[in-house]
Structure formats: C-alpha cells, structure tokens
Amino acid sequence: MVLTFPAGTGSLHLNLVEPNLPMDVSYHNHSNWSDGLDSVKAMYDAAKAAGLREFGLSDHYVVPGLPNLNDKEWSMPIQKVHQYVDEVISYCKSISCDDFTPRVGLEVDYFRENWKDVAAILDTLPLDYRIGSCHYAFDFSIDHMAEDWEPLTQEQINAIYVEYWRKMMEMAQTGVFDIVGHLDLPKKFAFPCSCDLYDIQEATLQAIKAADMAIELNTAGWFKPCNEPYPSLDLLKRARQLDIPVIISADAHETANVNRAFDRAQAFLAQAGYGTQRWRYEGRKRLPLNN
Ligand SMILES: [Zn+2]
Ligand SMILES: [Zn+2]
C-alpha cells in the first residue's frame, strides 16, 4: 500500500506493509483425493471464505520409481490423475469470481528412475503449476513418521540428507517442475544432519534459479517437531541472494488450515530480505500478483 499525502503536505510517500495483505495465494494444498481430510469443494470454499485471492489444490501424484516402493495410499490412485484434474477444473469454473481465482496443480514426487515417463503424463494435464517434491531418499520415507528415524545411526541420517539434496538438485535440473515443495523437508522430525550440506544446498539453489523455478515458504513446518517453516531462515536468505521467487503456501490437509500462519510467513519473508512482491501461476506461467 502506498500512502500519498495531499498537496501542500510535502512529497512524503510511505510504503506500509499490512500485517494481513489480502493478496495472498496458497498453492500447495491437499484434498481427500490424496491425504487431505476434506473434499475439493470444501477446500476451495474454505479458501474463498478465508479471503485468499488465489487457491490451488496440489494433491499427491506419486508414481513409485523404485521396485520396492508400492503405490502409496497417501497418493491419488495414479491411473486416476486425469479424473482428479477434470474434477478440480470443473469445480474451479463454478467458483471463480472477481475476488477469487481457483487454480489447479499437482504435487509430484521426483524419482530419477522414472521422471521422464512421469513428465510425459504431466504434459497431457492442463495444470496451472507443478510442484516438485521428494518424499523419499533411496526407499526411505522421509516425512511419514518419527519412528522411521529413531533407529537410524547418525551416519544413516547424514546419508539420507545428502541423497535428499542430490535428488532435489536433479529434480530442478529436469526443468519439468515450476515450484519446489518444502525445500528442506528432512528436518521435519528434528533428527538433524551432522555433516556440512552447504555445497550441495548451494548447487541445488543454483539449479532452481537456472530452471527459473519458485520455492515455497511452506508454513506447515511451524506445526511439526522442527518448529520452523520450510525452508529455514538461512536457506531463505540464500534464496533471496539468488533472487529466487517465493510463494507462501499452507500445505493444508484440511479446511481449517488453508492460510495457516500466513501473517508469520509475511514477517519471515521480510526477515530474509524479501520485499512485498508476490507471484501467481497461470497455465504454468509465473506472473506478478498485483495488489
Ligand atoms: Zn509434500
Ligand atoms: Zn503436500
């Protein structure tokens, strides 16, 4: 918001950031097509009622790339992805209005073993954006349960982190995705890595920049054992130095969370050196979101 004082009061212009800008979008969210609790309709209706300018579902689409990973119950059935997109688009058309633009996306797992096959399917889907995520390092499920981490040695934990970052870098290098999902996910259950990840993180950020992708400030991390958003302030500052765009997202799995902690997210972005510029996606093009 720019305040311009009336003539005669000088040429003072103030740029004020409102605590809850009505210009928010939230693109990383789940319905009961994957592991969310609520229906497509309920999620969009809640986002509209919450005053979001744009909202998109991005249900999980996990095509297992490793022989020992079966189809995942927290993903939509992989053969139903077109049906999902059709249903979401059809509801989006019915709810769209001047103040609220619904979007359609997917959160897609990257596997180096099958990404080209997955990309060919994605090319047949009229999505507004594709979120690229890694929920697996090797066949280890990173974000399922703390109990999966408890028996690991520090050496195994370190190997998971390194493999995760390697996969994230590769995922960006494919050029198939638009937004990076929860950049530093392995910290979720607070089992930290004891080795130096700086170089592989830097290479990943450079790959994200080269692919012209955005990252998300995913507020769900504040409500997990790690108690901070994805990514950390340190990583966000490094992304800022490279001028990588950020999209605030709730990663909501129920209607109550469609814009959870967005006020904190605004402050966190400012702390990392980001201004008030926000972005939207339409037909996989990133465009400025004007106030
Ligand atoms: Zn995810
Ligand atoms: Zn998600």
Residue range 226-251: mean pLDDT, rounded: 97
Q: What pLDDT is recorded for position 7?
A: 42
Q: Tell how far the Cα of 120 is from the centroid of ligand 2, in angstroms.
A: 22
* 53: CATH: 3.20.20.140
- Identify whether the C-beta of residue 135 lies closer than 8 Å to the C-beta of residue 110: no
Beta strand extents in 88-186 (DSSP E only): 101-109, 129-133, 136-137, 140-141, 179-180
- pLDDT of residue 69 exceeding 70, the answer is yes
- Mean pLDDT, rounded, for 193-222: 98
Ligand 2 midpoint to CA 193 (Å): 23
Identify which ligand lies nearest to the alpha carbon of 181.
1
In the structure encoding, which two tokens stand for residue 290, read together? Answer: 């004007």
105: phi then psi, degrees, rounded to nearest 5: -140, -175
Domain of 176 in residue numbering reads as 2-289
Q: Which amino acid is at 92?
A: C
For residue 143, the CA-to-ligand 1 centroid distance in Å is 8
- Nearest-angstrom CA–CA distance, 150 and 96: 46
DSSP symbol at 221: G
Centroid of ligand 1 to alpha carbon of 111 (angstroms): 14
Compute the distance from residue 135 Cα to the ligand 1 centre, in Å.
7
Residue 150: is its pLDDT beyond 70?
A: yes
Please tell me which residue, 63 or 72, carries the higher pLDDT value. 63
Q: Got the DSSP string for 41-91?
A: HHHHHHHHHTT-SEEEEEEEE----STT-PPPTTSPPGGGHHHHHHHHHHH
Q: Residue 71's pLDDT band (boundaries 50, 70, 90)? A: confident
Q: What pLDDT, on a 0 to 100 scale, did the predictor assign at position 72?
A: 76
**Separation of CA 11 and ligand 2 centre (Å):** 47
Phi, psi at 46, each rounded to 5°: -65, -40
What percent of the chain lies above the pLDDT cut of 70?
A: 92
> Rounded to the nearest whole angstrom, what is the distance from the C-alpha of residue 182 to the centroid of ligand 2?
8
Whether residue 281 is predicted with pLDDT greater than 80 in this model: the reply is: yes
> What's the whole-number average pLDDT of the chain?
91
Our count of domains for the chain comes to 1
pLDDT value at position 291? Answer: 55
User: Which pLDDT value is given to residue 23?
Assistant: 64
Pairwise CA distance, residues 54 & 290, whole Å? 12
Instruction: Render pLDDT for 36-45 as a digit per residue (tens, 0 to 9).
Output: 999 999 999 9
Q: Is residue 126 over pLDDT 70? A: yes
Closest listed ligand to the CA of 132: 1
Report the pLDDT value the prediction gives residue 283, as an integer from 0 to 100: 97
Ligand index nearest the alpha carbon of residue 30 = 2
Average pLDDT over residues 189-207: 98
What mean pLDDT do residues 199-220 have?
Answer: 98
- Phi first, then psi, for residue 172 (nearest 5°) are -65, -40
Residue 289: helix, strand or coil by DSSP?
strand
- Burial bucket for residue 33 (CB in 10 Å: 0-12, 13-18, 19+): buried
pLDDT (tens digit per residue) in 6-64 = 444 443 444 444 444 446 899 999 999 999 999 999 999 999 999 999 999 999 999 99
Give the residue among 205, 142, 212, 219 at the shortest CA–CA distance from 179. Answer: 212
Query: Nearest 5°: phi and psi at 283?
Result: 55, 40
